[in-house]
Structures are given as C-alpha cells and as structure tokens.
Chain A
Amino acid sequence: MTQSDARSKVRAFLEKFIRDQDFEDGDNVFALGLVNSLMAMQLVLFLEKEFGVKFTNQDLNLKNFRSVDAMVELLGARGIFAAA
C-alpha cells in the first residue's frame, strides 16, 4: 500500500457521499458541511476496515479526519505504508 493508493481510496469513499461538489485534498470536509456527524462513523469504520487499523480514542479527534490529507497523514502515523 502506497500513500497514493490510500489517498485514492479515501477520496473514492468520500466522493460516494459528497455529491455535486468538488473538494481538494486539503479541504476541511466537515467545516465545509460536506461530511456530517452521521457520516463520521461510516468514515471511521471504512478506514479501519479498508486499512486494517484500529484507531485509539486519542486518534478519534476531528483534526485527524478533517481532510483527505489529514486522514492520509493519520494512516501514515499508524504505519500502514510500505517503505518506498
């Protein structure tokens, strides 16, 4: 798994929810109202299942899920990317 694979997977998942609107990898999707609290659980469960990680209570902070970039960074911190 590379960082770029992860980025595509996260984007593809978000695009299922975010209809008719473009967003950048750095955009705060919660602040923009593109993702709401109802979708948050699905987002977290998707990331855990897809990337085989279990987030700690400390990880579960809005800061870590606010954008595609932030989520990729969190996954990186969980060590899911193979060394290049």
Chain B
Amino acid sequence: MSEPNKNDVMTYQKVGVIGAGVMGTGVAQNLAQRGMRAVLVDVSETVLTKARETIFNSLRVAGMFRRDDAPAADPEQTVGMIEFTTDYTRLADVEFVVENVVEKLAIKTEIYPRLDAICPPECIFAANTSAISITKLGGFTKRPDKVLGMHFMNPVPMKSMVEVIRGHHTSEETLVRGKAFLAQLGKEAVVVNDMPGFVSNRVLMLTVNEAVWLVQDQVASAADVDKIFRSCFGHKMGPLETGDLIGLDTILFSLDELYAAYGDPKFRRCPLLQKMVDAGLHGRKSGEGFYKYSV
C-alpha cells in the first residue's frame, strides 16, 4: 500500500464500520475495493461469518460488471482488507466510523457513547441511518460537531450518490471531511438538513407503507402495484420491490421511528407489514417478502 500523503489530511486509511447487516456489509466491501482498511464490528460472530461470505461472493461477481478488460481484483486479497470482529476496542485507531446498526434508537443510544470513549478524538462518526435524528445521535457523544448522517443507498458499492445530513451541531469541517471520505469511495453527496427521515425516507417509507395497504385492501396484487410504478412512471423498481430490497423489518422500524418523531398518524404501520415481519418475511435478505428470492 502507498504511504499516506502527510500533506493531505483528507486521505483515509482505516475506517470503522459498525453493524454487519446489509448496509454495513456493503460499506465494508466498498471501502476494501477502494483500498481502505475496514474494521467491521458486530455483536454476532454468526453475522460476521455470513458478512464475510456475502462480501467474498459479491466481489467475485463484481468482476462480471467491470467496464474494462483489466483483470478483476483478487476477491481473497480485497476481503483481506477487512477485519471482522466483535471487539469494539479494535476501533481505537480508526479515522472515520460509519455506523449501520439496526434502526432502533435504544440500540444506537448505547453505541454512540461507546464509540466516543474508544475512537480517537478527531474521528468522525457518520450515522448510516434512514430515519433517526442526527442531532439526537450527536447528543450521545462529546463530539456532536463531528457527527453527521450518511444515508447510503443499497447496494452500497454500486450506488454513487449519498444523502448527507447536517445535524444541528455538525461543523463545516466535518461536512468537508465527510465529502472527502465519500469521494474516496467514489461517491458524491447531496447535503440536507436534519429532520427525521430527511428527504428520501420521509417520502419513501410512506410510499412503501401505502403500497402495502393497497395489497392488504386487495386493491391490487403486489406485482400490479409495482408494475404501475415501473410502466407508468418509469421507475426502475416499484415500491414493494424496493421494500423487499431494503428489508421489510427495516421499513417497519423506520416507520416506527418516524411515527414517534412526528407523532403524526400518517406514519402508522400497515398491519400486513407487521404480520409479514412477524412471519420472518423480511424481503430479499430472508428469501421472501412480497416476492420470492433464492438465497
């Protein structure tokens, strides 16, 4: 690996990634593909083992979509850039953290003070949340100026735009450093202000939820709801396919966070969504949601 350029404070070498679910796995893979070392932390060894396997397979297949004839990177070598661990103290020397744990405030409340105590004082914390207030998360640390939101899209390595959220105390320097970090990942940012759900999910979660109501009320089948969005509006995916991709459990948790934050009944969860989540139909990642997938 090349020596870090001492004149360029914007070059990141080692990044912490918290949570090895769909998003954390994607972020860790993207970092490794871009030559950065990643420390991927999760509470579960089983989840970490699965994450390693997913990243390895995804790297193998990534070679299929390369745009040039250059030989594909060796997946084994790329995955070697990632340390898979349950030990938070491995984050003692990271320069940047992307937090991707489950969309539940109670869990994030525990994690931020822990990161604050372990990570170096200059380290920035990016919350890859889809609905929770960045200002609130910043308040769980002694460095709210260094906390910002980064709402990555799925699949992370393939999506070039990130919704970046400026919390009430997020400093300009943090935003500049955050954008530099994203540039290193080959991504651009749209910066928005902090309010639960930001731009994307305040609209998207309502749309997915309402689409589930349509299926529950037998107005149309899931396939027909999606077909209308694809064929009539030119969307790449319909709302229910999108829900399956995001994870129906995540949709449910996000709706709950939005409901709690705004106290507005428009964010109430559709009972069918609750039932599907209870039944383990979490979408693409579990093999079945509104559609069936081979896992």
Which A residues fall within an 8 A CB radius of B? 13, 16, 19-20, 37-38, 40-42, 44-46, 55, 57, 60-62, 65
Contact = CB atoms under 8 A, between A and B. Distances in A.
B142 interface: no
A40 B293 contact: no
Nearest to B58: A41
Contact of A57 (B72, B245, B292, B293): B72
B113 to A, nearest CB: 36
Contact of B223 (A19, A44, A61): A19
A60 B73 CA distance: 12
A38 B236 CA distance: 13
A61 B64 contact: yes
9 contacts: A37-B155, A37-B158, A40-B64, A42-B294, A60-B72, A61-B63, A61-B64, A62-B64, A65-B64
B64 A60 contact: yes
Interface string B257-295: 000000000000000000000000000100000001111
B74 interface: yes
Size bracket of the B interface: 20 to 34
Main secondary structure, interface of B, reads helix
Main secondary structure, interface of A, reads helix
A74 to B, nearest CB: 12
A19 B291 CA distance: 11
Interface of B: 57-58, 60-61, 63-65, 71-72, 74-75, 155, 158, 223, 227, 245, 284, 292-295
B155 A38 contact: yes
Q: 5 closest pairs, A vs B, by CB?
A: A41-B61, A62-B64, A40-B61, A60-B63, A42-B294
B57 A45 contact: yes
Nearest to B76: A57
Given A16-B294, A19-B223, A60-B72, A40 B57 contact: no
A81 B292 CA distance: 30
B294 A46 contact: yes
Contacts of B65: 37, 40, 62
A52 B155 CA distance: 28
Given A37-B155, A40-B61, A60-B63, 15 more contacts: A20-B227, A37-B61, A37-B158, A41-B57, A41-B58, A42-B295, A44-B61, A44-B64, A46-B294, A55-B60, A57-B60, A57-B71, A60-B60, A60-B64, A61-B64
Nearest to A56: B60
Nearest to B295: A42
A75 to B, nearest CB: 16
Contacts of B63: 57, 60-61
Contact of A13 (B74, B292, B294): B294
Given A38-B155, A40-B65, A16 B60 contact: no
A65 B60 CA distance: 14
Contacts of B245: 38
A58 to B, nearest CB: 9
Contacts of A37: 61, 65, 155, 158
Nearest to A40: B61
B292 A44 contact: no
Contacts of A42: 293-295
Contacts of B58: 41
A44 B158 contact: no
Given A13-B294, A16-B292, A57-B72, A44 B60 contact: yes
